[in-house]
Amino acid sequence: MNSRFLLAVAPLLLAAVAFQAMRAHAGGEGDDALLKGLSTSRHSLVDGIRQAASAEGVAISAKFEDEGKGLSLSVYVAGKGLGVDADENRLEELAGSPAGAEWKPGTKVFEDVEHVARSAEQLTLMRLTPLSLADAVAKAEKAQKGTAFSVKPEIRGSKAVFHVRIAADGKAVDVLLDLMTGAPVVKAG
């Protein structure tokens, strides 16, 4: 990665980190509808990750979400893989309803600052780890019984982690795993 690129992207990454921190402090707004909606899905988070990986790209984060239009499975993808820097990559989202027999996501290439910054950070973190998102989900579900509905690489304090959200007994439980080893770091519910 060249220094001009780092200087250009650094403010975007800082803005993305600040935005994520604000969202994390906002709590689980919308979790109730999302957790109830998970039962309508015919596909798991790992199904979406694997399907996205079967295309040319690499999954860099994934989540179920309900923004008032019904349940959606969303996977952020580095379209040109992990070996290509963010400024030369195609950062995109595959999203669609998981309620059908097949998950048929639409594709949206990111062009806005918020999504480019977030996915560039996630791409950078995924380039550091030997683990895939599917590996992280498996380790989190082993540490916390339930169904994973979100996985993303992020920085917590000064530590790189996978943040996995799991539906367990009708509640959302956050599991943090070390980005390099997959070992549980913190479990908070």
User: Which CATH number characterizes residue 168's domain?
Assistant: 3.10.450.40
Taking the CA atoms of residue 105, residue 68, residue 120 and residue 12 in that order, the dihedral angle to the nearest 10 degrees is 150
Look at the block and give the residue holding tokens 């935005």.
19
Q: What is the CB neighbour count within 10 angstroms for residue 14?
A: 12
Q: What CA–CA distances, in Å, run from 25 to 28, 140, 170?
A: 9, 22, 21
Instruction: Let me know: does 71 contact 48? Beta carbons within 8 Å.
Output: no
As a whole number of Å, the end-to-end CA separation of the chain is 38
Instruction: Let me know: does 95 contact 73? Beta carbons within 8 Å.
Output: yes
Letter string b/e over residues 158-177, b meaning 16 or more CB atoms within 10 A of that residue's CB: eebbbbbbbbbeeebbbbbb
Instruction: Let me know: does 44 contact 126? Beta carbons within 8 Å.
Output: no
Number of domains observed in the structure of the chain: 1
Spell out the per-residue pLDDT of the chain, length 189, in tens: 555 554 555 555 444 444 443 334 334 556 888 998 899 999 999 999 999 887 668 999 999 998 788 899 999 999 999 999 999 999 999 999 999 999 999 999 998 899 999 999 999 999 999 999 999 999 999 999 999 999 999 999 999 999 999 999 999 999 999 999 999 995 444
Domain range for residue 138?
3-188
Closest CA to 181 of 144, 136, 133: 136
